[in-house]
Amino acid sequence: MSELLKIEGLEVSFDDPAHRGEGGVARAVRGIDLVLGSNESLALVGESGSGKTAAVKAIMRLHDPTKTRVSGRIALEGRELSAMSEREMEGIRGRLVSMVFQDPMTSLNPVLRVGDQVAEAVSLSRGLNRRSARAVALELFAKAGIPSPEALFRRYPHEFSGGMLQRAMILIALAASPKLLIADEPTTALDVTVQVQILELIERQRRELGTALILVTHDMGVVAERTERAAVMYAGRIVESGRTLELLAKPLHPYSEGLLDALPRPGTRGEKLKTIDGFAPSVFEEAPGCPFAPRCRYVQRPCLAEIPALTEAATGRRVACHRARELDLRGIA
Amino acid sequence: MSLLEAIGLRKAFPAGRTDLLGRRKDSLRAVDGVDISVGEGEVHGLVGESGCGKSTLGRILLGLIKNDGGCVYFMGRDIEEFAREDEDRLRSGMQIVFQNPYSSLNPRLSVGSTLREVVRVTSRRNASASAGRDDASRRVDAALDEVGLPRDVLPRYPRELSGGQLQRVGIARALLVRPRLLIADEPLSSLDLSVQAQILNLLAGLRESRGLAMLLISHDLRVIEHVSDRVSVMYLGRIVETGPTDELFSGALHPYTRALIASASDPRRALNRKTESAVLPTMMGEPPDAINLPRGCRFATRCPYRMPRCAQEEPDLLDAGGGHRSACWLLA
Amino acid sequence: MRRRGSMAAMAGPATIVAGILISAIVLVSIFAPIAAPYDPDREELSSSLAPPSSAHLLGTDRLGRDLASRLAYGGRTTLLSALLVVAISTAVGTALGLVAGYRGGWVDSLLSRAFDVLLAFPALLLALVVAAAFGRGIENAIASLSVVYVPMITRLVRSACLVERKLPYVEAGRALGYSSARIMFRHILPNVAPLLLVQVAIDFGYSILDLAAMSFLGLGVQPPVSDWGAMLADARDSLLVAPRLALAPGLAIMIVVVSFNLFGDGLKESFERRRRR
């Protein structure tokens, strides 16, 4: 497996004049390193405000350059993305890297038929004319097990259920057989049973095309069955990473433990769930120590003084915690 | 009779294509013959996916939407009659918490204003309770304590608070009138996972401290299983299975319930499996068009256990013993 | 933390200039008795049509009356009348819009149809018809214009109301047993107010135009009271000889109307910016 994506020291910050009193700059991503091999799947787990969406949007360079500052290196197949012109980026978006968003309804133009929009995307990404693109699109839909695609093509977005639309969006995203698919909370707005179908669709397509996957989510439960590796983000930094199943069975960072505790387990009915007190730090804040310290159950003096670096704790496992070696955290095993 | 009892509820909305005069020709049977009850101090979980009618059902129970057929009884009285004769008591008896914390509060009023208004308006109606300024403040403070919010949220506006805090305010508002029953319509869906846990603890705790009964509406099975005493599963306007939580989850009878449980993401399942890709059978496809429901059992089109009878007759809830009932011909 | 007054802080330069102009004109009108050098009705036939001088800043009209003073007093009449038109139409229109939007039903259907018909006519035309029927005079002009402006406001408030009433906070109010009146006026109205304010600002400008037009046609103020529209009418005879007699009130009207429009636009922008956050 070769290295597909390598991110080093990625930082993303937004200008926010409304918060001038607090510095005026919202630092959403504060330096992350990530490596993804081709055909690998990685879960990026974090809650709102963790910076996960800002990070993946930076990979596709979707931020507004007038208001956003992105620094650090993002290399796709060895090519440095930050050095590319907008024209070159357009060649990459939709072709080498594709993205699927949370709410499919807002990703489509409400006044155009779904079929036309799918055909357009396919024709652009594969360089075909409209008619061939349409044929290709129909074929893709049929292969994905969507019943009567021709009838669906003639309808408008609002006539579809969220699940159906999301399937369409995934197929569009994968139309050009990209090397990397980024799915940003693709199932959060959908029902459970549809969630399964969507995730299975992504999985099947991935296997067939050999596409790598970054699955952004706040739900640890979704992660388990669908990804090989996982990285947990908190306050703009990666606090833990490793193989998904290992991380879930035995987390090394107190925040990961907290996230797992928040999942109601069968058989513990009536028991209070262990929760994480307090709130995530504001994006404007610049505390000296570990960003999780104020809420950490295991906090000690050194935690408040210095930000822990992401270091290797075991093969393939990294964690950013001063006390990682001493702590014996509880997973879901 | 239970605290809340509803029998044979029906509600249809005009839908589908319009005729020349702009009127809609078909109707969407959002609630199509539902019986449901909640006992004193009981938590009843109502599970279903989007479009099954659970939110509509919740609003009918509260009296916010008028039902077409069937009756709702609260504390033994028909709520229509209740509303006519003693609306205050009815409104104080049942309250609601919404899904979206941001739009459940008036954005132009501070938290304190919203809460104080509740006390002012509702106590003016109850001649017995006087609501001097001090008394109102005291009750608001007490409500804040109960939901775990500090006093300094009072002067703040909804846009300044987080989702979790806003949801707590919503719960505080409902608690101010001292209800016996709380209808929580997807109260956790818009929140982050760790915040969900906090709010879930809060809701569960209210049952302990106040003996508050709850109808918890959600599509998240993990949450429902964690706090409910009884569970009802809704599909396309009907209850297809109901029973005590443990029984329902360990031995679900209706194929839809089984598929729901199988679909709920459970990390433990992944850990316990040797290979990562084995998946339990789930149903295929989408629910049928809600406006043109098929004949017979409405789940038949997606059911792996479909029999000829299923396409002919629609099953009622059949008794399986111990309060566990399932609307499926497999039981017959 | 954003404070409520920060709206002003987000206004663009055009809005600020407009705001200043409006304030200036309003102030001059209010303080006309002190600011104006002469009694506007004082005739001095000997100095008829005198050009601007140190004695008369803008000169005099045909009857020797000081133009500057007449402008100030005329402004008073015009602005006051416009204020009344806007106040009445907004009050009535808002109440009707809230009821139609919140309660719906046959009231809504009836009002909407009726207003759709009214809106098809140009405001001025309708006002003229009403005035012609009920006679001349500034009171009739104000009344007829107020009636004519109501449909627009009602429609605006109604559609905003339709959006708000679906939101959970309104449902919560109903669940708490709040009366419809309370929900409409204490909850929905404040949320509708920003849009309304914008329309009010713009309506102010248009009502000045319409009032001036009516006075110009002789259906508004009656002599000896005068406003800018009447001044324009008076200036017709002396147009070639002393164009400033028409220019002064004309420019005044134009400046005020444009200022109100700019101000209204500025308000709309700052509200939209706030909402986008």
What DSSP line would sit under B178-239, residue for residue? --SEEEEESTTTTS-HHHHHHHHHHHHHHHHHH--EEEEEES-HHHHHHH-SEEEEEETTEE
Section B290-313 average pLDDT: 83
pLDDT surpasses 70 at A203? yes
Q: Which residues of C18-51 are buried (b: 16+ CB within 10 A; e: fewer)?
A: bbebbeebeebbeebeeebebebeeeeeebeebe
- Residue C58's SS3 state is coil
Does the bond joining A186 to the residue before it have cis omega, within 30 degrees of 0? no
* Side-by-side strand order, sheet with B69-74: B24-38, B4-18, B69-74, B77-78
Distance CA(A162)–CA(B219), nearest Å, equals 15
Q: How confident is the model at residue C276 (pLDDT cuts 50, 70, 90)?
A: low
Angstroms from A233 CA to nearest CA on chain B: 14
| Bridge partners for A76 per DSSP | A5, A79
Q: Which amino acid is at A75?
A: A
Section A192-212 average pLDDT: 85
Strands A317-319 and A311-314: antiparallel
Q: Is A133 part of a structural domain of the chain?
A: yes
Handedness of CA C72, C73, C78, C81 (dihedral sign): positive
Most B-contacting residue of A148, A193, A247, A275 (CB-CB within 10 A), to test interface: A193
Q: Which residues of A253-264 are buried (b: 16+ CB within 10 A; e: fewer)?
A: bbbbbbbbbbbb
Neighbour count for residue B127 (Cβ, 10 Å): 8
> Chain B contacts of C171, Cβ < 8 Å?
59, 64, 96, 98
CA angle C64, C66, C72 (to 5 degrees): 150
Q: Is A325 part of a structural domain of the chain?
A: no
Question: Do A225 and B265 count as a contact with CB atoms less than 8 A apart?
Answer: yes
pLDDT surpasses 80 at C12? no
CA angle A108, A111, A116 (to 5 degrees): 65
Q: Which domains does chain B have, with CATH numbers?
A: 4-253 (3.40.50.300)
| Bridge partners for A32 per DSSP | A10
Question: Do A273 and B271 count as a contact with CB atoms less than 8 A apart?
Answer: no
pLDDT surpasses 50 at A64? yes
Q: Under a CB-based contact definition with an 8 Å cutoff, are residues C75 and C252 in contact?
A: yes
Q: Under a CB-based contact definition with an 8 Å cutoff, are residues C25 and C266 in contact?
A: no
pLDDT, one tens digit per residue, over B121-176 is 887 665 545 556 778 888 999 999 999 999 999 999 998 888 899 999 999 999 99
ipTM above 0.85, yes or no: no
Distance CA(C14)–CA(A30), nearest Å, equals 40
- Residue A44's SS3 state is strand
Distance CA(C218)–CA(C215), nearest Å, equals 5
Section C34-62 average pLDDT: 79
Angstroms from A151 CA to nearest CA on chain B: 15
More reliable by pLDDT, B279 or C258: C258
Q: How confident is the model at residue A122 (pLDDT cuts 50, 70, 90)?
A: confident
Q: Which domains does chain C have, with CATH numbers?
A: 11-33+61-276 (1.10.3720.10)
pLDDT surpasses 60 at A189? yes
pLDDT at residue B304, as a whole number = 83
Nearest chain B residue to A193 by CA distance is B263
Angstroms from C277 CA to nearest CA on chain B: 9
Touching A (3+ Cβ pairs <8 A), the chains are B
Angstroms from A60 CA to nearest CA on chain B: 25
What is the domain-level CATH number for residue A216?
3.40.50.300
Question: Do C172 and B64 count as a contact with CB atoms less than 8 A apart?
Answer: no
Question: Do C175 and B100 count as a contact with CB atoms less than 8 A apart?
Answer: no
Distance CA(A159)–CA(B119), nearest Å, equals 44
pLDDT at residue B37, as a whole number = 93
- Residue A97's nearest CA partner among A116, A73, A74, A68 is A74
Q: Among partner residues A47, A225, A263, which is closest to B222 by beta-carbon distance?
A: A263
pLDDT at residue C275, as a whole number = 67
- Residue C22's nearest CA partner among C201, C168, C250 is C201
pLDDT, one tens digit per residue, over A247-296 is 998 999 999 999 888 888 777 777 788 888 887 888 888 888 999 999 99
B-C interface: how many C-beta pairs under 8 angstroms?
A: 57
Touching B (3+ Cβ pairs <8 A), the chains are A, C
Q: Is A205 part of a structural domain of the chain?
A: yes
Percent of the residues in chain C that have a pLDDT greater than 90, as a whole number: 17
pLDDT surpasses 60 at B302? yes
pLDDT surpasses 70 at B282? no
Q: In chain B, how many H helices and how many E strands?
A: 10, 12
Nearest chain B residue to C2 by CA distance is B160
Q: How big is chain A, counted in residues?
A: 333
Question: Do C176 and B121 count as a contact with CB atoms less than 8 A apart?
Answer: yes
- Residue B33's SS3 state is strand
> Chain A contacts of B220, Cβ < 8 Å?
192
Q: What is the pTM of this model?
A: 0.83
Distance CA(A192)–CA(B265), nearest Å, equals 8
**Alpha-carbon radius of gyration of chain B:** 21
Distance CA(A304)–CA(A299), nearest Å, equals 8
Question: Do A266 and B225 count as a contact with CB atoms less than 8 A apart?
Answer: yes
Q: How big is chain B, counted in residues?
A: 332
Distance CA(B311)–CA(B299), nearest Å, equals 9
Most B-contacting residue of C1, C165, C170, C171 (CB-CB within 10 A), to test interface: C171
Task: Assign 3-class secondary structure to C198-210.
Answer: HHHHHHHHHHHHH
* Helical ranges in chain C per DSSP H: 6-9, 13-30, 32-35, 67-103, 105-119, 123-134, 138-164, 168-175, 180-182, 189-216, 228-235, 244-276
pLDDT, one tens digit per residue, over C244-264 is 888 888 998 898 899 898 888
More reliable by pLDDT, B80 or C7: B80
Neighbour count for residue B232 (Cβ, 10 Å): 28
Q: Is A328 part of a structural domain of the chain?
A: no
| Dihedral angle computed from the Cα positions of residues C117, C122, C127 and C130, in that order, rounded to the nearest 10 degrees | -40
Q: Is A254 part of a structural domain of the chain?
A: yes
pLDDT at residue C170, as a whole number = 92
pLDDT at residue B22, as a whole number = 67
Most B-contacting residue of C169, C170, C182, C186 (CB-CB within 10 A), to test interface: C169
**Which residue range forms the structural domain that includes residue A112?**
3-319
Contact residues, C window 6-65, toward B, CB-based 8 Å cutoff: none
Distance CA(B62)–CA(C167), nearest Å, equals 16
pLDDT surpasses 80 at C171? yes
| Count: domains in chain A | 1
Section C78-99 average pLDDT: 93
Q: Is A331 part of a structural domain of the chain?
A: no
Distance CA(B26)–CA(B15), nearest Å, equals 5
Question: Do B259 and A193 count as a contact with CB atoms less than 8 A apart?
Answer: yes
Neighbour count for residue B35 (Cβ, 10 Å): 17
Q: At what angle do helices B111-125 and B79-93 cross, to 10 degrees?
A: 130
pLDDT, one tens digit per residue, over C111-156 is 888 888 888 888 788 878 877 788 778 888 888 889 889 999 999 9
Q: How confident is the model at residue C7 (pLDDT cuts 50, 70, 90)?
A: very low
Question: Do C176 and B118 count as a contact with CB atoms less than 8 A apart?
Answer: yes
Contact residues, C window 181-200, toward B, CB-based 8 Å cutoff: 182, 186-187, 190-191
Contact residues, B window 90-149, toward A, CB-based 8 Å cutoff: none
pLDDT at residue C67, as a whole number = 83
Question: Do A195 and B194 count as a contact with CB atoms less than 8 A apart?
Answer: no
Mean pLDDT score of chain A: 86
pLDDT surpasses 70 at A149? yes
Q: How confident is the model at residue B243 (pLDDT cuts 50, 70, 90)?
A: very high
Q: Tokens 């009843």 belong to which residue?
A: B44
Q: Among partner residues A193, A263, A272, which is closest to B263 by beta-carbon distance?
A: A193
Q: Is A83 part of a structural domain of the chain?
A: yes
